[in-house]
Amino acid sequence: MEPILGGAPAPAGGAELIKNSSTATFMTDVIDASHEVPVIVDFWAPWCGPCKTLGPMLERAVKDAKGAVRLVKVDIDKNQQLAQQMRIQSIPAVYAFKDGRPVDGFLGAVPESDIKQFVARLGGAKGPSPIEEALALAKEAITEGDMARAATIFTQVLQREPDNVEALAGLARAAIAKKDFAKARQLLARVPAEAAGHVEVVAARTGLELAEAGAKAQGALGELRARLERDPNDHQARLDLAGALFAGGNREQAVEELLELVRRDRKWNEEAARKQLVKYFEAMGGADPLTQSARRRLSSLLFA
């Protein structure tokens, strides 16, 4: 297959785009520099929990902008005078400077999608990058069930950006589809701690958990079906059958079995069927047509 991403792997640099600043250097780092390129200032502190989540997302977005914007980080504990001058009353606080003056900003933690839009507005949207286009193609391949093509594209992305979270999670999902659970675990172990809650990572981890659990029951498919023929109210057999079916790629049948279990006894085993369905939705992703249709059917059963 022709490479999706041309050229040699990108350098691991980008440090010049991100720097720490202080009261003494703020004028040079931010005000003066913003006459050349927009500068985002992240006011943070080591004790601030949301800052630890927001900071890495800002850094990723700035690196993805490929020089269209820069990021300056200011520790307010070490620069209290500057924080007072900027009237920083709560953190995280993010301000964008252009031509020597503030032009945009936000307070508190926000979703990564909002951060990307914020950076794109500031730097001037230039359309998707080659990496973003490749990731979109890979996700499209997954939706179409072409895991081999998806794996190839994700691998090419990781050759350019070894820490790309979406590519790591996507390649892990491709490994799960091949039942290569060890490789999937290795890929997910490479995900930075601050990205553990990324929706793609959560989906891959949940998918791995379900696949490993279901694989153990796959050899008993015939026995589980026989148990249900003898007793359609053998709820444990139906739950185990759903897990084995899902692990084997029979997602629609697995969902049907769990919806049937909800219909028969929604409260059984502390709502085990509903909870398992939620895990399936997480693993498949909210945009998956099966997730959307199953959610509607589950809601109809629960609120009937």
Annotated catalytic, 240?
Answer: no
**Residue 97 · residue 38 · CB < 8 Å:** yes
Flag whether pLDDT at 39 surpasses 90.
Answer: yes
Residues 6+ apart with CB under 8 A from 218: 244, 247, 248
Flag whether pLDDT at 219 surpasses 90.
Answer: no
Q: Token pair of 108, please?
A: 């508190």
Q: How confident is the model at residue 260 (pLDDT cuts 50, 70, 90)?
A: very high
Instruction: Supply the pTM of this predicted model.
Output: 0.60
- No. of helices (H) and no. of strands (E), the chain: 14, 5
Q: Token pair of 69, please?
A: 């914007």
Catalytic residue among 30, 51, 88, 241: 51
CA angle 280, 206, 57 (to 5 degrees): 115
Nearest to 55 by CA among 137, 112, 136: 112
Question: Cα separation of 167 and 227, whole Å?
Answer: 41
The model's pLDDT over 72-123, given as tens digits with 9 standing for 90+, comes to 999 999 999 999 998 888 899 999 999 999 999 998 888 888 888 899 888 8
Flag whether pLDDT at 235 surpasses 50.
Answer: yes
The model's pLDDT over 49-66, given as tens digits with 9 standing for 90+, comes to 889 989 999 999 998 888
Nearest to 135 by CA among 121, 123, 153: 153
Distances (CA, A) of 37 to 29, 68, 81, 93, 97: 11, 7, 26, 20, 9
Q: How confident is the model at residue 125 (pLDDT cuts 50, 70, 90)?
A: low
Nearest to 91 by CA among 138, 54, 128: 54
- How buried is residue 123: exposed, middle or buried, by Cβ count under 10 Å (0-12/13-18/19+)? buried
DSSP 1-16: ---SS-SSPPPS--GG
DSSP 24-69: TTHIIIIIIGGGTS-EEEEEE-TT-HHHHHHHHHHHHHHHHTTTSS
Catalytic residue among 4, 30, 39, 48: 48
Place of tokens 């985002």: 40
The per-residue pLDDT for 10 is 40
- How buried is residue 233: exposed, middle or buried, by Cβ count under 10 Å (0-12/13-18/19+)? exposed
Annotated catalytic, 51?
Answer: yes
Question: Cα separation of 56 and 193, whole Å?
Answer: 10
The per-residue pLDDT for 16 is 73
Nearest to 235 by CA among 201, 207, 276: 276
**Residue 244 · residue 214 · CB < 8 Å:** yes
Angle formed by the axes of helices 251-265 and 289-302, nearest 10°: 10
Higher pLDDT among residues 144 and 234, named by residue: 234
Question: Cα separation of 279 and 281, whole Å?
Answer: 5
The per-residue pLDDT for 27 is 93
**Rounded mean pLDDT, 160-168:** 92
CB burial readout 200-220, b (16+ within 10 A) else e: bbebbbbbbebbebbeebeee
CB burial readout 155-178, b (16+ within 10 A) else e: ebbbebbeebbbbbbbbbbbbbbe
46: preceding bond cis by omega (within 30 degrees): no
